[in-house]
Amino acid sequence: MNDKRRFVRVRPSGLVPRVGKIFVDPKSPAIECQVIDVSAGGACLYVAGNGPIPKRFTFLHGAVKKSSRVVWEKGRKIGIQF
């Protein structure tokens, strides 16, 4: 299987946070998520809970906020692009 990716993915390890937060708007509470892997252009996340997952949001990982959008979804596991 030839998997050509634009950016190399890495699993969080060491001092890299394994959790992130999804912010839809300032009035809504943040949605907790687990970071499965991350690259320069996106990430794979597992979103806890059973509420709807927004298509566009601000993703907080560590101290970095990035505008993101969902590019694929498989149950509660999603792929996002920064």
pLDDT score for 1: 46
DSSP per-residue string spanning 1-69:
-----SS--B---TTS-SEEEEES-TTSPPEEEEEEEE-SSEEEEEE-SSSPPPSEEEEEETTEEEEEE
- Pairwise pLDDT comparison (75 vs 17), residue with the higher score: 75
Query: Within 10 A of 81 (CB to CB), how many other CB atoms are there?
Result: 15
Domain count, the chain: 1
In a domain, 2, yes or no: no
Question: Which structural domain, as residue segments, surrounds residue 35?
Answer: 9-81
Q: What is the pLDDT of residues 11-49, one digit of tens each?
A: 655 556 689 999 998 888 999 999 998 888 889 999 988
φ/ψ (deg, to 5) at 67: -70, 130
Give this prediction's pTM: 0.77
- CATH number of the domain at 50, please: 2.40.10.430
In a domain, 29, yes or no: yes
pLDDT score for 16: 60
